[in-house]
Chain A
């Protein structure tokens, strides 16, 4: 909740500023790049997912992540909500992927949805990172170099899917953490990601993104009426490597269906140009907020005293 509004706030204020400072010449160019043709992807079929969380367990093991609070076979996690019940589980530094449960409006069977980095064709995190920590690899993965990450968290703000998580565990090694498509350990060796290999239902289909789009259409054609007529991620924010099929409207299962078709690149490019400015004023802004809060506190406590003082005058 807080992050979404912060992102919107920044995007809005930046867009306002950028309109004045930048001519929109780069935008047309940006929209033509559609990712590497050889890039891999995953087709997630929500109608097949049964919420077994084998994918979460496999990811935890593959990425050597810490022991979770609850074991991966405990369904209690599906009832967890945060921020006053408005938000389901999200990816964290300790869990690069999470599966959430949704109750569709028509009262049918619950729907499970796996969340992880969508590995955009044109990643907003990459463009927003001013130390160039991110890379979109030929294989389609969006990876990052934690050695150069300075922990500024621009990517967290820029990501339209709220995926990168910040590692608070180490104060000396600030670091963003997210799903890396198992790039080093599996993708590069021609192996499917660990979560895909672990899924019993083949709810996750691994392949070239181009082929996956054909397969998705094939599924819709073969089973008319099973799916809603949309492949989420085919066009959203310029296309993502992980794409989705669903039987229920995407907005009912936690997808943001208001995203633009164009890559966020163009906005972020503008955003990027203001980063030095933002960074420069950041401390000032925060000390401003801090003083403001302090002032209010003091003021509240001081009321009586003030009145007394005034009465003495």
Chain B
């Protein structure tokens, strides 16, 4: 049994006070002297040629300081994957969706900026627009991008084992289709940024982002400013869930306008712009064929998926791979084939969202597994347990499950929900369902090809020894990384949590790829742990010289120096410290030497006590094309049981109970782990029951408000029983791995399976609205 003083506890978040009191400043709260406000002109058409742009009236408006279009802006293309840089700051020849950016204005106040936008005249020639992949793929359809023939933005073809041969060995094979709907990230804080370019050529951007590092690189590349002169700062962020993990035209424009005017420029999205910018979950059309033996052994899976990607690539190249690679596990499956096609349409661009690429696939497959279990007359839990992977197993696509508490999770939710008493025994209208899932604990590779470190960290001790300043470029976006990293730093140094002061989310503090792919606890955590251990070593080193005690005979715990070989006379040290701080009221006392005293001695000796850490993953599996998407140093996993009531007269579903078990390797902060589990369930519940971005006939988002795009309210959340499983991940700091995204995987299919158990209809299309259930029940009656 390991013993810890800080981690594995439930200490309050470091940002709790600031957030609860309203003291926390988000980007939209910031202002600077002499600041201008920027606004964007966005396309009203889904697909149109730009014939002419007349900005003369806008330029003449009093209070307008700058008007820019593609003519003035950088022609350098950007995006996320360098292989598919297909976006420009402003549209050059044509617009590709309602909301595509055409021009921008900087003015003395927001009203003037908006008025100037309305004065810009654009002549368009409308082109045929495609709002679904089937129209976009039709022969003769006009190309949305010249580079993507047939409007196919990317294709993936992978086969592990031999699926056709394997199907021949199967006793039972079935094929099912499944489709979800485009999602919105629905974070509470719309994107906002504030740029300031000074006369020395330094560019600072404050931005509501998940990935300061990627934003910094894109700003540097597109605006041609040396990377050392670009600083991206992330203030408090009100959620991201994926869509904020890349640089955007909003950020580039604010910077560009600041460079043109020499004044700070602030830009803020309204809610409709959040929906138009999107970069949230794709629409996936899956067709899955699964083959099994009579005894329930899984043998082969064929997965075909068409993704509606919207107008540009964004994260889509990763998404298309994830839609294939995140199946198979957590079950032993020797044969798997995947064919993926990402198609461009004239709709907002899709990107990454919690459970990136895998959520729809998981929903489709876990529902199909339930159908198969029923067909084989096996209990769904037993069927899953029969095929379950365990620690040390490697998937057919070479994912190494270096730790995997999947079996423990499944057994925990089975027992925690009293599955045995309920399954098959509930009255009509009530149902229970189960599902499993897994997710990467950090992308194994950066989104651009590089040998860069993924995370660096630096810890500096204050001269009095009382405070450790932790510098990391990681991104706290509400998920709690500042808390986790402070805890890890404290534990690694052996000091108290409250003596760590974290400084994060600033590219001046180091390199960190940011908050996406559930990577920061593992990766930033490693770097911070190394930095903490480095500091500890340095302090003990100086102490060793001073007291003439070997380093190995000392340790630091809970803020005190431990002398392993019994008591040591440190009275000289103490009086030295006290003399140095004459007049201070918080002098050290007691019979233990404090870290503070030791650190002061280290300071007096070295002047600078700074520890450093840097992490990148070691060698990962997979030599095939696309192996860089999905391979990770570790995998988190989870199981859920959901209980529902369905009103047979209206079709309305009420989720009564959720039992969730997640293997996070090791819980650095138990409350935070549970918070991520609850948040994932809520997001999954919304996607299952309510959420869908809808479009009007012209391709404009028809429900671009949080009134008509429905995320669950507190009153829609059932009782949730959260069970933490800890499998001690060898590749994680203190054994920790992800919980941020994996926890969403089983939610949707567990609800689908529970609904089937309640009313006997299978729904293959999300969201499962009351209307969809009602109609399905009616159809069933007819048959």
Say whether A and B bind each other: no
Binding site for B on A (CB under 8 A): none
Binding site for A on B (CB under 8 A): none
